[in-house]
Amino acid sequence: MSSSASSAEGYDAAGGDVTEVVIVRHGETSWNASRIIQGHMDAELNDIGRQQAVAVAHRLSKEVKPAAIYSSDLKRAAETAQTIARICNLPNVVFDPALRERHIGDLQGMKFPDAATERPEAYKAFMSHKRNQQIPGGGESLDQLSERCVTCLYNIVEKHKGERVIVVSHGGTIRELYRHASPTRPLHGKIHNTSVSVILVSGTTGRCIVKMCGDISHLQETSVLENAFGGDKTSA
């Protein structure tokens, strides 16, 4: 996904109830680099991922200070969020399993190129365009993923009307949040590690506007992994 901003012109924030949700994908892991399907499996950041986390944290520290930071409880997101919290001088990270990556069932822990031949049923389900298609082995459908992460988004907004918050999550989850915020403008391309997206959410109406999507300008001096598997078939 290219570094680009969607127009938020005409969005009336005069009521003071609009929450600015800054959504950050976690830093790179060795599993990303090896194109291993992570899902709910708990890989840690690698050295590049830690550099990326520091870079995005310094970027965010120069912007308006957030009221809070929320994160998936998986290690790769948690460490990214803790780095951001430390550099932005935030007291703590609120961990929420609802921000986890999609559970990818029998494909978790497999190298993506091997999945089609070794787990054909699960691979077919994963690649399906049917949003109610669950993945064998306890995997979630896209509708199930959307339900949990969008519900979490609105729970956060309810607590932070008129404020700025940071949310650290995963590729597949971020794609679903984008889809909810902008249902008529499909998201094409990849969601890079530590990319920054911004969604404005009205606490009164629930209406969302995408202000920024997939920006990685802070990674100019840190490598970007073009083929990092991000929990969804588009980023594979």
Q: Is the pLDDT of residue 3 over 50?
A: no
Q: Are strands 68-71 and 93-95 parallel, antiparallel or unpaired?
A: parallel
pLDDT digits (tens, 9 = 90+) for 142-174: 999 999 999 999 999 999 999 999 999 999 999
More confident position, 88 or 233: 88
Say how far apart CA 111 and CA 207 lie, in whole Å: 38
Residue 9 annotated to the active site = no
Tell me yes or no: is domain 18-33+44-103+141-221 CATH 1.20.120.330: no
Domain with CATH 3.40.50.1240 in the chain: 18-33+44-103+141-221
Question: Whole-angstrom Cα distance, residue 189 to residue 24?
Answer: 16
pLDDT single digits (tens) 197-217: 999 999 999 999 999 999 999
Residues in the annotated binding site for substrate = 25-32, 76
Q: What is the pLDDT of residue 185?
A: 87
- Can you give the pLDDT at residue 232? 60
The per-residue pLDDT for 7 is 39
Catalytic residue of the set 20, 79, 101, 163: 101
Active site residue 101: yes
What is the structure's pLDDT at 187? 82
Q: Residue 186: what pLDDT?
A: 77
Instruction: Answer whether residue 225 shows pLDDT above 70.
Output: no
Q: What is the pLDDT of residues 83-132, one digit of tens each?
A: 999 999 999 999 999 999 999 999 999 998 899 999 999 999 999 999 99
